[in-house]
Structure 1
Amino acid sequence: MNRLSLTVPFHPQETIPSFCSRLAVANGISSVMEFCWLLDLNHMRIINGDVEETEKLLQLAGVADLAGRRLTKTGVFYDINGETLARSSVVRGRLRYCPECIREDIDIQKGRPETRPYGRLEWCMTSIRTCPKHERLLYTADGEGTVKSFDFAPMMIAEMARLRDHRHPQLQPQSDFELFFARSLRGSREKLGWLDDMPLYAVGRVCEWIGATLLFGKTYLVEELSEADLALASQAGFDVVRTGQSGFETFLRSMHVDFWVKKTHTGGRALYGRLYERLAYESNDPAYSDIRTIMYNVALDSLPIGPGDRMFGPVKERRNHSIHSAAQEFRIHPKTLRKLLKNSQHVFGDLEPTDERIVLPANEMLALVDRLRGNLSTANAAEYIGASRTLWSTLVLSGHVNSSLGAHDDAMYPLYRTSDLDSFVDKIKAFATEDYDPSSAVTSLANAIKRANCKFSEVLDLLLGGKLKSVSVDPTKPGLRGLMLDHREISRHTRTTESDGLSVRQAAAMLITQDQVLRNLIKSGRLEIRNERTSEKTRTYRRITSLSLREFIQNYVSIDRLAANLNRTVVHLRRELTERGIYPAITYEEVGATFYRRSDL
């Protein structure tokens, strides 16, 4: 193939289409398409970076090395030096340039004036908006003859008439992002770790979207942003992504502030604004899949998002529950859940946030809700096991039945599991000693207590202690209603004709202490009392059992009594005992007197 006699220099930063167009003008042909036709070249293949066609062009021009400047179209994408660019990332049919560079080309380069300016590779990239040499924003021509011709030299000729009238563009130093993008075009892409596998065009777009959100709000309109705004946005976004995935996740969580302080929805659009719209509605490009996945995980890990919400499609899982979402899913009133959370100490204070803003991990919320579902209130639980109000109070106070919510709290009424109630009833019925005989003298629990003139607690103690020999269960009656007892047997166990107990004053005299100290000892459970009646059962007395008092005297001694026996003062004796590592078993703060364990002395 013959070499052209008239050629132009192929500059290091120049694109192949620009070089081809300048060759045409240098050879006196105003149209690059006509120039290619005359030389049996396919202009569109050259534009698209076809290897065979560009090699033919370079041979004609006597150029041996492309130096990594071939931008090859592959489907809807472009490849250059191992990087991928989207069609929207490349400016092909419009004239985009730096006026200062064009002026320098005209002044410095050789050859015909119309062949001196040349198009730079960076000018074709929408993500690069400034000239690194002159620190000015690039200019996009919009005059007649400068659009959709893919012919750089004629477009530049048409623009030269207006070049003198151009004001100096705004000062705009090249950013680190643009430097990263330009180096990537040359095959020297900086490692970012988590984004290294993402196509270059996607990295550029993500940086722009993140930065625009940071600088102009998540509902920004790109039509209202200038090229200078977008250049600043790309750099701001680049500052985020270069800190790694954790930095991007922190940025995403910062966008949740509206959810916590306002009554906004938890959908992707409400949370992330234009960033979400770009990725969810305006592009289904799989290049952004990792970004979508991160946004999805951050949203679900941080907020009460679940089935019924949308985050890049319908959400089918739930990782966090709010009071509102849990109330809807489990059909429990929100006020009940609030009380449950406060009672379980998952939430403290006055719970000022709304139901949607009190959030708990889904598994923890489920564990709490499971304590409510299928449970019974106090009245229903008593009815379930067939207990009167008095019997139920006895069972609760004695610890035989316990609320499924744990410790009692006035903010939350107690609830009882049917399984726990069934277990208790089965435990009671297990003490049956004989089969039920309707003709026998046994009667119901309530009637037996009434006829024996005793307390529920006394009968329970006898029953659970295995002291009753005549116990049966009526299979036709549920719960405790079916428990049958002999009131005469109960009466023999509970009746007292003579009292072997002591009054508070008698016991205080034996201990040589004050009456109030005895009452405190009784209240703390260290002395046993029982209600004793006369044989006529007309009056009940509270008496301290002699056995418990003897055991107390055998095990404990007051410091006052000990000091008197040793002929020591209380102060000196207490100091000596403390120095020997002997401390009170019962303190003054507890009962109003100090007692030591005899075994410690």
Structure 2
Amino acid sequence: MAEARNAEMCGATKFDAYFHARLNGDVPESEILDKLPYYGALGVCEVVGAMELGEGTVGRSKMSGSQRREAFNRGFDLLNLGYPSLTKFLEKRDNRRRETNDKGVGKQLYGIFYTYLNDRVDDAGYSDLISFVKNHAFAAHPIGPENNFLGGGGERKFHSIRSASMQYGIHPATLRKMLHAANLLDTESDVRDLKVSIPVADMDDIARRWKEGVPAYYLKERFETSPQVIKQLTDAGILVATNREVNHRLKSFYSLPQIEAFISKLDQLAHANDGSGIETVPLKHCAPFMTYVDIIRNVMDGKLRLWIKKPSDTATTLLHLRVMEEEVRKLAGVDLPEGHYRTNDVAARIALRVGALEELEAAGLIETTIYRGPNGVSTKAYPKSSLDAFTKRYISFRKLAREKDKWEKTERRVAGLVPVFNFGGVDRLFLKSDVYG
């Protein structure tokens, strides 16, 4: 009575108007509060408002009348803006938890707001609000059904190291090392196991590969290949390895489904026959001009044809793979480029010794191109366009004579002509315009 006599007059607020309308049976208009029971809407406004005002740690029974009224109004103003405003309210608590050493969920996460809702999980009038808060929490934190958050249930979206360890049966220290290796957790991270937050799909994949993993020596036997080839396939991303600690050393492990999927892919890409009647070779024969892994990558990209030669009842290994060496050379730029001639062919066509060609090249009378030869060695080739231009302007003594028994006659023909090049003996080069006038 004393407080009432001393109370100051104040104007009606939006909070007053809303709850007055509900008492009089008017149709209210609040996305969140409309679905709550009358006294439930009042309670939520008070709790949320008290937390916004920093009174969330104080028992509401100890709050003064003016404090409670301010909390009611503050909570109503926030909740009346709908779920986007409530989301911001929850996110503020989410960030606060991430920045502290608090490792709990539930009450430790959303304080008296959680407690208020958790006491009413069996009341259908609160179901929409509880579902929203639960879904938000599951989307923001590594909590799951086992945490019994707001009555249990729900779908886990993030794993902590602790929850993953319990679900998959992998030691927390091992999980941390696997997450480090997968670049999902900073190696310097000192975040508590319970607060580490990893998407469920990523953690599932890591756990699956750990359980299905086989060491590299298994691949060596399964593929019938060397450790160097396995490393090449891993470095190229064709195979994916998971690092696992064995005797205090990190070693690479590969999942069995991944291994068999890789072999199955090669089986599908291979031609129906084993290449009988076609000149195919094992992949290692192409080593001088293309690495093992590059051949396989080009096969998988559809740039090289593949054959598999093996007994019908034998599992495919890398030793059974065969390709056409000519196709590999061409793809690697090893074979003679199109529209070019080899050195010996050019020497025969213009009728000069091979040594003379180098002097013509140095003088700029004929062009050359460097390509990788059959043994991977840089080799010289002559473009057809350059050779055609050369033969149109120049002619050699041998070409002019055509046959050896006509050399004497040809000598009389070119007597008095000055050769463009004189390489000695009959190896001379003349301008066609001088010879034919």
Class of the TM-score when normalised by the shorter of the 2 chains: 0.5 to 0.7
**Cα distance, 1:276–1:479 mapped onto 2, change above 3 Å:** same
* Percentage of matched positions with identical amino acids: 20
Counterpart contact for 2:160–2:198, Cα < 8 Å? yes
Q: Specify the alignment match of 2:238 in structure 1.
A: 402
Partners in 2 of 1:352 and 1:509 — Cα distance?
71
User: How do 1:85-104 and structure 2 match up within 5 A?
Assistant: none
Query: What do you get for the CA RMSD once the two structures are aligned?
Result: 5.1
Q: Specify the alignment match of 2:432 in structure 1.
A: none
Partners in 1 of 2:175 and 2:226 — Cα distance?
29
Q: What code does the residue aligned with 1:288 have?
A: Y
Q: Specify the alignment match of 1:528 in structure 2.
A: 372
Matched, 1:334 2:176: yes
Partners in 2 of 1:501 and 1:362 — Cα distance?
64
Query: Displacement of 1:208 after TM fit?
Result: 0.8
User: How do 1:77-88 and structure 2 match up within 5 A?
Assistant: none
Residue of structure 2 aligned with 1:173, choices 3, 6, 10: 10
**Cα distance, 1:393–1:233 mapped onto 2, change above 3 Å:** closer
**Cα distance, 1:423–1:290 mapped onto 2, change above 3 Å:** closer
User: How do 1:181-196 and structure 2 match up within 5 A?
Assistant: 181-188=19-26, 190-196=28-34
Identify unmatched segments of 5+ residues in structure 2: 243-249, 277-281, 323-341, 345-354, 363-367, 387-437
Residue of structure 1 aligned with 2:109, choices 271, 276, 282: 271
Counterpart contact for 2:142–2:160, Cα < 8 Å? yes
Q: Specify the alignment match of 2:399 in structure 1.
A: none
| Residue-by-residue CA offset, 1:536-586 (whole Å, 9 max, x unaligned) | xxxxxx62144xx45xx5799xxxxxxxxxxxxxxxxxxxxxxxxxxxxxx
**Cα distance, 1:291–1:459 mapped onto 2, change above 3 Å:** closer
Q: What is the TM-score normalised by the length of structure 1?
A: 0.43
Query: Displacement of 1:309 after TM fit?
Result: 0.9
Normalized per residue, which structure has more helix?
2
| Residue-by-residue CA offset, 1:435-488 (whole Å, 9 max, x unaligned) | xxxxxxxxxx99xx8xx9x87979997xx988999x544967x66498599xxx
Query: Displacement of 1:223 after TM fit?
Result: 3.4
Matched, 1:313 2:147: no
Counterpart contact for 2:35–2:128, Cα < 8 Å? no
**Cα distance, 1:366–1:243 mapped onto 2, change above 3 Å:** same
Q: Specify the alignment match of 1:423 in structure 2.
A: 264
Q: Specify the alignment match of 2:422 in structure 1.
A: none
| Residue-by-residue CA offset, 1:93-118 (whole Å, 9 max, x unaligned) | xxxx5x6xxxxxxxxxxxxxxxxxxx
Query: Displacement of 1:196 after TM fit?
Result: 2.2
Query: Displacement of 1:210 after TM fit?
Result: 0.9
**Cα distance, 1:303–1:458 mapped onto 2, change above 3 Å:** closer
Q: Specify the alignment match of 1:201 in structure 2.
A: 39
Q: What is the TM-score normalised by the length of structure 2?
A: 0.56
Counterpart contact for 1:382–1:389, Cα < 8 Å? yes
**Cα distance, 1:508–1:186 mapped onto 2, change above 3 Å:** farther
Matched, 1:387 2:225: yes
Partners in 2 of 1:374 and 1:321 — Cα distance?
20
Moved more, 200-209 or 322-331: 322-331
Please tell me whether Structure 1 or Structure 2 has the larger radius of gyration of its CA atoms: 1
Query: Displacement of 1:204 after TM fit?
Result: 0.9
Q: RCO (CA 8 Å, sep 6+): is it higher in 1 or 2?
A: 2
**Cα distance, 1:386–1:364 mapped onto 2, change above 3 Å:** same
Other structure's SS at 2:182 match: helix
**Cα distance, 1:382–1:430 mapped onto 2, change above 3 Å:** farther
Q: What code does the residue aligned with 1:169 have?
A: N
Query: Displacement of 1:381 after TM fit?
Result: 2.5
User: How do 1:241-260 and structure 2 match up within 5 A?
Assistant: 241-260=79-98
Q: Specify the alignment match of 1:215 in structure 2.
A: 53
**Cα distance, 1:480–1:313 mapped onto 2, change above 3 Å:** same
Query: Displacement of 1:301 after TM fit?
Result: 2.0
Q: Specify the alignment match of 2:424 in structure 1.
A: none
Q: What code does the residue aligned with 2:224 have?
A: G
Query: Displacement of 1:229 after TM fit?
Result: 1.9
**Cα distance, 1:458–1:234 mapped onto 2, change above 3 Å:** closer
Partners in 1 of 2:191 and 2:63 — Cα distance?
37
Identify unmatched segments of 5+ residues in structure 1: 1-96, 100-136, 139-167, 435-444, 486-499, 513-517, 532-541, 557-601
| Residue-by-residue CA offset, 1:377-411 (whole Å, 9 max, x unaligned) | 544422332322244456667x6x812379xxxx9
**Cα distance, 1:228–1:458 mapped onto 2, change above 3 Å:** closer
Counterpart contact for 2:164–2:203, Cα < 8 Å? yes
Partners in 2 of 1:377 and 1:555 — Cα distance?
56
Q: Give aligned pairs, total.
A: 324
Q: Specify the alignment match of 1:544 in structure 2.
A: 378
Matched, 1:233 2:81: no
Q: What code does the residue aligned with 1:384 have?
A: R
Query: Displacement of 1:193 after TM fit?
Result: 3.3
**Cα distance, 1:423–1:484 mapped onto 2, change above 3 Å:** closer
**Cα distance, 1:234–1:475 mapped onto 2, change above 3 Å:** same
Residue of structure 2 aligned with 1:287, choices 125, 132, 157: 125
Q: What code does the residue aligned with 1:296 have?
A: K
Counterpart contact for 1:266–1:309, Cα < 8 Å? no
Q: Specify the alignment match of 1:571 in structure 2.
A: none
Query: Displacement of 1:352 after TM fit?
Result: 6.7
Partners in 1 of 2:265 and 2:18 — Cα distance?
73
Counterpart contact for 1:394–1:456, Cα < 8 Å? no
Query: Displacement of 1:240 after TM fit?
Result: 0.8
Other structure's SS at 2:159 match: strand
| Residue-by-residue CA offset, 1:417-441 (whole Å, 9 max, x unaligned) | 222343377578987568xxxxxxx
Partners in 1 of 2:378 and 2:289 — Cα distance?
20
Q: What code does the residue aligned with 1:298 have?
A: H
Partners in 2 of 1:284 and 1:511 — Cα distance?
94
Counterpart contact for 1:218–1:272, Cα < 8 Å? no
Partners in 1 of 2:40 and 2:385 — Cα distance?
83
| Residue-by-residue CA offset, 1:482-501 (whole Å, 9 max, x unaligned) | 8599xxxxxxxxxxxxxx89
